[in-house]
Structure 1
């Protein structure tokens, strides 16, 4: 992707905004000068940002905040691609790692241990992205979880916003202090107080049901850990895997979950016990369809996003994949796994470049 920084001569009587847009989105109009200078080349390029002049940024209109999917900084033709990729990732997930005090220091207590297993697993963006697909598809097999999303979520209109809020919650409860994590948990509990209703069979439900909270937590933790093992550290010791479940259980209990499993054996036994309560319904299938077919903010990232979705389907528990009737053809699975590892390597290469300024995701 190319970004041109055009210099205008001092003797030009006025400046006009040269706007460019993402294909498929409404053509942007500057809210300050209300001028648009379209061209074939401008329409063909994928950007929705004003570009400042080299002489005086104040003399040219600039958007104050980027939208989701836009690159967050002005860049020239020679910009480091790692900066572009990292900027897109942080904008997409709403990273707050540059906020003072958001990532706690070693001496500051938090819900999970500093530098522990959860700290490591949740720091890999590829594992969290693929694991997030697995987690949502698995969680929606519980009728109450699916009903809560269906009745009270705006996922149809703002799927990316919902995923961003989930990512921020996981980051805050993992890397934040007790105060930061507590504020996020209190906010979620207040939201849950208003989430309830009736299932299609007439059974009342509530988001504060401890059994449902346990299900949502276990399905998510299992998905994130298995994605991390497959796409980042296949040699992760079993003891470290057990520590991950034990560490993240503190967050689940703070939300109101009960009888949270603390190791791999407990998670396997839990899934075995809860499976009779699960079912694939019209709601769960529609939620899965929206997740797997949602458009990407930047069209050029569509192939990588599709690959992440396929990697998530490939990582589903066999019983969950069968219930959703989702599967990756056997001959394509090696290609999906190799491709996802390649995308992960590029993302880590880019995010490591930003590590000094963005310590959350590596």
Structure 2
């Protein structure tokens, strides 16, 4: 295996929790009897099939960590210390299932995650210093995680991607389906609603030793040497898209030379282009979903004749 092939394999395993082969579940999206929630060319399909979610995932983890209830669940029940990339792989699987799968697959995938959430509960110290109980199924925590993901996808794509069909409002409205699948009532359906619901959490956010520990893992995950420089660029790109108030709480800064900001956008886009080159123009999950859609389209044409 040549150096390029080795690099491509290492790159792919970063998103599959160390598995050098393409996970079988990505091919399962060819199955199903409906078109799913998001057609090809929709806002969600456009954003998620791009490479900007690579930055969005980092940004979402940073933002989610600021809620002490969400952080307590990750700290006590996640294996992020031993397998930090495993959590990433599981999250990618759910997002891909909702994005590319049939409606049945999306519902079943979300129900599976909800069942896992029933095991996640405990106590945490809130921003006022009081002890509170939590469960991953709490409506407030479900909302916070949904808001953090939605905000991350919109912000990362706005900074480093192309246009979104219908703009950010359309993306937020479409991705509301994902929130509803996870049991969220009244998810935001516009960018303004997203900002308003995020702001409502401001008084609950806090920094703690748990957040600082998680931040160390997010900043320096156990990647192959060939990916570390690129990840540092993507991390800086994620930090640059955070709201100033969140960035300040995390103790992070936009990279600069004194008062002069570094050209983060250009550098991030360059790294994303290299990742796209390594992964290929279309992932197996997207390709499998398109096969299902072509089959369903053919079935519809046959029934009409």
TM-score class, shorter-chain normalisation, is 0.7 to 0.9
Aligned ranges for residues 224-235 of structure 1 at < 5 Å? 224-233=153-162, 235=163
Whole-Å separation in 2 of the counterparts to 1:231 and 1:316: 13
Query: What residue is the counterpart of 1:90 in the other structure?
Result: 12
Q: CA deviation at 1:132?
A: 0.9
Whole-Å separation in 2 of the counterparts to 1:357 and 1:256: 25
* 1:338 maps onto 2:260 in alignment: no
Query: What residue is the counterpart of 1:144 in the other structure?
Result: 69
Whole-Å separation in 2 of the counterparts to 1:335 and 1:170: 30
Whole-Å separation in 2 of the counterparts to 1:268 and 1:186: 27
Q: Does the 8 Å CA contact 2:255/2:262 hold for their aligned counterparts?
A: no
Query: What residue is the counterpart of 1:199 in the other structure?
Result: 124
Evaluate the alpha carbon distance shift between residue 353 and residue 325 of structure 1 in structure 2; reply closer, same or farther with a 3 A threshold.
closer
Q: Does the 8 Å CA contact 1:103/1:175 hold for their aligned counterparts?
A: no
Instruction: Report the count of equivalent residues.
Output: 278
Larger deviation, residues 326-335 vs 284-293: 326-335
* 1:347 maps onto 2:275 in alignment: yes
Query: What residue is the counterpart of 2:174 in the other structure?
Result: 247
Larger deviation, residues 93-102 vs 133-142: 93-102
* 1:287 maps onto 2:214 in alignment: yes
* 1:154 maps onto 2:65 in alignment: no
Whole-Å separation in 1 of the counterparts to 2:104 and 2:261: 43
* 1:170 maps onto 2:98 in alignment: no
Evaluate the alpha carbon distance shift between residue 120 and residue 97 of structure 1 in structure 2; reply closer, same or farther with a 3 A threshold.
farther
Q: CA deviation at 1:113?
A: 3.6
Aligned ranges for residues 63-102 of structure 1 at < 5 Å? 75=1, 77=2, 81=4, 86-94=8-16, 96=23, 99-102=26-29
Query: What residue is the counterpart of 1:209 in the other structure?
Result: 138
SS at match of 1:348: helix
Q: Does the 8 Å CA contact 1:156/1:290 hold for their aligned counterparts?
A: yes
Q: Does the 8 Å CA contact 2:117/2:137 hold for their aligned counterparts?
A: yes
Query: What residue is the counterpart of 1:299 in the other structure?
Result: 225
Query: What residue is the counterpart of 2:202 in the other structure?
Result: 275
Q: CA deviation at 1:84?
A: 5.2
Whole-Å separation in 2 of the counterparts to 1:326 and 1:360: 39
Q: CA deviation at 1:326?
A: 0.6
Whole-Å separation in 2 of the counterparts to 1:97 and 1:222: 30
- Which runs of 5 or more residues in structure 1 are unaligned? 1-74
* 1:188 maps onto 2:113 in alignment: yes
Structure possessing the higher relative contact order (Cα contacts under 8 Å, 6 or more residues apart): 2
Q: CA deviation at 1:246?
A: 1.1
Evaluate the alpha carbon distance shift between residue 333 and residue 85 of structure 1 in structure 2; reply closer, same or farther with a 3 A threshold.
farther
Q: Which of 315, 325, 332 is 2:251 aligned to?
A: 325
Q: CA deviation at 1:182?
A: 1.9
Query: What residue is the counterpart of 2:36 in the other structure?
Result: 110
Whole-Å separation in 2 of the counterparts to 1:272 and 1:151: 27
* 1:312 maps onto 2:234 in alignment: no
Instruction: Normalising by structure 1, report the TM-score.
Output: 0.70
Evaluate the alpha carbon distance shift between residue 256 and residue 210 of structure 1 in structure 2; reply closer, same or farther with a 3 A threshold.
same
SS at match of 1:204: strand
Q: CA deviation at 1:108?
A: 2.6
Q: Does the 8 Å CA contact 1:85/1:347 hold for their aligned counterparts?
A: no
Q: Does the 8 Å CA contact 1:245/1:263 hold for their aligned counterparts?
A: yes
